[in-house]
Each structure stands twice: as C-alpha cells, then as structure tokens.
Amino acid sequence: MKLFEENAPEFEQDALERELMQAMRPVDAPEGFADRVLEQVAESPAGQTSEFEQELAQAMYRVDAPEGFADRVLGQIAEVQPQRAKVLTMPRRVQVWVGGAIAAALLVGAFGVREQRERREREDAAVHARQQFQQAIQITGSTLADTRAQIAGNTVADARPQQQFEVAMQITNETLASVRAQLQQSGVQLGD
C-alpha cells in the first residue's frame, strides 16, 4: 500500500506491476470446463427461449389463401371501379404514349384556334377597309357630281375652271386607282 502513496519512487511501482503480472498469469481452466458450460447454456432459460423460438418459427409457416382468392379480388375490382381500374393499371409505357398523344392534340388544337382567330381578324379588317373605300368612292363621286353641275351652270366664258376641274378629276381618278390597286394587292376584295 505504501507504494501507492503520492511520493513513492517510480521504480517501486514498476516492481509492483511486475509482481502483479507474474501473480496474475492466466491459468488453465479445469478439464471439461467448456462442455459443462455448454450443457448449462442448453438447460438455461435463454437456451430454452432459443429452442422455443425455432419451434415457433417453424410452426408459423405461411398458409395458402382460400381457393379462388385472386378471382374474387379481380371480380371486386371489375365491379367497383371498372373505368378507373383500367386507367390505373395501364402499363407505364402505354401511359407515356397516351400522355404524349394528349399533349400533341392539345398543342395542335391551341395552334388551330390561334390560326383561326388570326384569319377572322384579317377578314374583319378587309371588310372594314372595303366599307371605308366604298364610302370614300361614294363621297368623291358625290362631290365631283356637285362640282360638275356647278360648272355646267356657270355662264362665264372663262375656260379655266373647266380645265382645273378636268385636272382635278384626273388626279382623283389616278388616286382612286392607286388606292384600289393597293387594296387589291393586300387581298381586299372590292366590289364593282
């Protein structure tokens, strides 16, 4: 005990260790020790539990389902959800194809609707332009008729108004022809 005191010299501790190690060398177990331990383990509660567990596991094999079980399940599926069942159990590859086809149809439909709307807008614009042109022709014709009547009723021998009228008529006709040509070029169908 003295050796464990705080100020004990180090070499004395080493000596104690040596003595302890020598004294505590492993010794041989009595003959047949292992066999006796194994026998005790087999008789112990733990050993019984292990054996019992094995018996239990062997007894708890899976049993067969009643005959016609699968038919009855499929019959119920067919009765309860015939439509839904078909959709849900569709193979993945088919689902991909069907999904793709639906997406393509939607795309084509959307494109078609847009195209149709643009065509209708173009037709509306053409009708509007034609109406405006007809109205312009009507106003111009009416104005020219009035002017012609005034000139015809004028008794002054001066020929200048007549010449000016002819020039104005010519310019008007050319302008109208140009407008008509431009409208026809842009696809607007004009009446006679």
Minimum CB distance to another protein, residue 69 (Å): 5
Q: Is residue 57 close enough to count as binding another protein by CB under 8 A? A: yes
Q: Is residue 97 close enough to count as binding another protein by CB under 8 A? A: no
Q: How far is CA 64 from CA 57, 59, 68, 120, 159, in A?
A: 17, 14, 11, 70, 122
Q: Are 130 and 188 in contact (CB under 8 A)?
A: yes
Selection from 122, 129, 140 nearest residue 190 by Cα: 129
Q: Are 126 and 191 in contact (CB under 8 A)?
A: no
Selection from 135, 120, 123 nearest residue 191 by Cα: 135
Q: Is residue 66 close enough to count as binding another protein by CB under 8 A? A: yes
Q: Is residue 69 close enough to count as binding another protein by CB under 8 A? A: yes
Q: Is residue 46 close enough to count as binding another protein by CB under 8 A? A: no
Q: Is residue 67 close enough to count as binding another protein by CB under 8 A? A: no
- 133/169 Cα distance (integer angstroms): 18
Q: Is residue 75 close enough to count as binding another protein by CB under 8 A? A: yes
Q: Is residue 59 close enough to count as binding another protein by CB under 8 A? A: yes
* Residue number, 101 or 149, with CB nearest to another protein: 101
Of the residues 55, 123, 146, 166, which one makes contact with another protein according to CB under 8 A: 55
Point out which residues bind another protein (CB under 8 A): 48-49, 52-53, 55-66, 69-78, 80-81, 85-86, 88-91
